[in-house]
Amino acid sequence: MTVNELELLKPVSRSFYISIRLLPRALRQPVALAYLLARTSDTIADSSAIDVEKRIALLE
């Protein structure tokens, strides 16, 4: 996992940032990236600041 991925993960979920280090090294990057993708999708879907049509387009 690169420094950039860790820096992205740390402010999003401190507990996940800490616990990901318990995974085998080969799994850390793919699991972290999957988590960040899920969080991003969830944030877009839940945002009331973006109209529904724009949210759907972003999620597609």
Query: Does residue 25 register a pLDDT over 70?
Result: yes
The more confident residue out of 6 and 33 is 33
Alpha helices in 1-60 (DSSP H): 3-12, 14-19, 25-46, 52-59
pTM of the model: 0.71
Nearest alpha carbon to residue 59 among 51, 42, 28, 8 = 42
Could you give the C-alpha distances from 10 to 3, 13, 47, 50, 59, in angstroms and in order? 11, 6, 21, 25, 23
Query: Does residue 4 register a pLDDT over 80?
Result: no
What is the pLDDT at residue 1? 52
- Structurally, the chain folds into a number of domains equal to 1
The 10s digit of each residue's pLDDT in 27-56 is 888 888 898 888 888 888 887 888 888 878
What is the chain's length?
A: 60
What is the pLDDT at residue 48? 81
Query: Rounded CA gap, 49 and 60, in Å?
Result: 18
Give the residue numbers spanning the domain of 40: 3-59
Question: Tokens at residue 48, please?
Answer: 């009331």
